[in-house]
Every structure is written in structure tokens, then in C-alpha cells.
Amino acid sequence: MASTGNDIAITPVDRAIERLRAIYRGWTRDTSVAQMRSDWDAAFAGCPVPVRCEPASAGGIDGEWLVPANAPRDRAILYFHGGGFRIGSVASHRDVAARIADASGCRMLSINYRLAPEHRFPAALDDALIAYQYLCGQGLRPADIAFAGDSAGGNLVLAAMLAARDRGLPLPAAGVLMSPWTDLTAAGASYESRAEADPIHQRTMILALAKNYLGKDGDPRNPLASPLHADLNGLPPLLVQVGDRETVRDDSVDLAARAKAAGADVELQVWDGMIHVFQMFPEIPQTREAIASLAVFLRNHLHIGHERAPQ
């Protein structure tokens, strides 16, 4: 049937937004955290990517290996899922993690770090460090490991690096951050300038998630809770991807500026018209391009597909 002038084209981003809204519409004040987590896992279940999924225990932290065919045994990506430190799991992020692992040709360890409100800050960070030390204990050099994460998981990428640095531990080779939540005070200008463009994440919601993570008396400016406020010296190379429609956009933009000022090698990619962690939605065409870019970055810094320099 021919379209009329009154028709409004439904874009892939619109369809992704409706997927999210369909989940949120089912939640009320009486919906339990357990139900929210179950709903989130179910909404993003499935993994059509041809990787091998193997249950894992990373120093006692429940997790899963995602192993592409012919992936080298001596390299690994450690993945931290998003979900505001309240929801999300290995299951909900299996698809996006698998697509990154497959594109990069590298094994990936995805972990179920502890969530709030049952386990508040710094429980998630402690688990991230345990998983990192587990990989090092398996014979991998820090130079053979990269961190990756989205949203709250992007926060953990940075916080784990900073905590490792402060403890005198060697840092991983690189970090990939997708729409990282770096400022729990939600002070970025984009919380106002992108409020109408962002269909889901408003400042009141972000602040509520921060309080859930930190507890009533927690400090949102603690540098290991809000890495934007940390001393960013000594970080390894970072690739940051964020959508231009996000209220949390400036958590990425400001982070990149501060990290560069501290001497870090940072590549910031702001994707026009994209929503929060758009890489989770394979129906969005830009997702393939974004993950391909992540994969090139990871392969370069983990020296996959070409010879490493002599040690």
C-alpha cells in the first residue's frame, strides 16, 4: 500500500525504544527487584552468534566464557554488564558480549558481579577486581587482558583500573566503554540538553539508581564510584562510544576530556541519533559499525591477528 504524507516512518531506533518501553511499562512500585531482573534477562535473551558458551567461576564470582572459533588461549576480554548496578547479568548481555567477542576474535569472560540494593558499593568493584586477578592467576599477563563494559559496566571498567593502579597492580592493555556512567551526581549538561531526546534515562531515575548503589549515606563523588571525579593519571588506552541522544552523553564527553588532559590515549566516538548502549540492539544498523570499531581497537591492543612486539 502506498504511504501517505501523514505516515511516520518507524526507524530501527524507534523499534529499540519500544522494546525498552515495553519492559518499563510492566513495572510498578510493587514490582520486586527479582522480577525486574528476570524481565530484563528475558527481554534480551538469546545468542545467535556462533561462540561457545562455557560456565565459569572467576575466583568465586559466577561468570561465563564466550569463546569464538580459533580464539587465542593467551588473550582475554573481561566484560562488565550494565544495568545501573541494580539489574543486568551475564544472560541479559550475552548477545552483545558475544558479538564483541566474535568480531574481535578473542575469548571473553563475562561476570555476574553483585548487585544493589543487596550488595552496595564497593561490592561490584570488589568482584571486578577479583575477576581480573583470577585471569592474571590463570597465566595471562595484564598486557594480554582488556576490559570492556556498558553503562554501569563502563563505570566498573574505569573504577577497576583506578583501584588496581592505586593498589600497585599492573593495568590491563586497554579498555572499551559503551555509554559509561561515570558521574553518579548526574551533573553533566546533557541531563538537561538531552532530556527531551532521551526516551528513557532521565536525571531523577539516574539519581535514584545512584542512591540504590551507594546507600543513603554514600558519597556520589567518591572517585571509585564516580570515576569522572578521580585522578585519571596512568590509564591505558580507552575507546569510548556514546549516543548523541543520551542524557548520560556528557559522562563520556567529560571523561574523555579529563582523561586526555591527564595524558591518556582516548578515542571518543559520539554516534549521531543513537540511544543509550545502542550496541545491544542488533536491529539498529549502526550497531554493526560500532562493534566493528570496538573489535579493531581490541585486536590492535591485544595484538590479535598480528605478531606482538618482543617482550
Catalytic, 89? Answer no
Q: 125: closest CA among 151, 148, 159? A: 159
Burial class of residue 22, CB neighbours in 10 A (0-12, 13-18, 19+): exposed
Number of separate helices (H) and strands (E) present in the chain: 9, 8
Task: Give the integer Cα–Cα distance in Å for 3 and 6.
Answer: 8
Residue 33: all three cell numbers together? 527487584
- Count how many Cα atoms sit within 13 Å of the Cα of residue 261 in the half-sphere of its side chain: 9
Backbone angles phi, psi at 208, to 5 degrees: -65, -40
Task: Give the integer Cα–Cα distance in Å for 189 and 88.
Answer: 27
Task: Give the integer Cα–Cα distance in Å for 176 and 168.
Answer: 22
Sheet holding 145-150, edge to edge: 51-58, 61-68, 108-111, 76-80, 145-150, 174-178, 238-243, 266-271
Task: Give the integer Cα–Cα distance in Å for 275 and 13.
Answer: 8
DSSP 21: H
CA distances from 17 to 23, 199, 238 (A): 10, 7, 28
Selecting among 104, 151, 226, 252, the annotated active-site residue is: 151
Residues labelled catalytic: 151
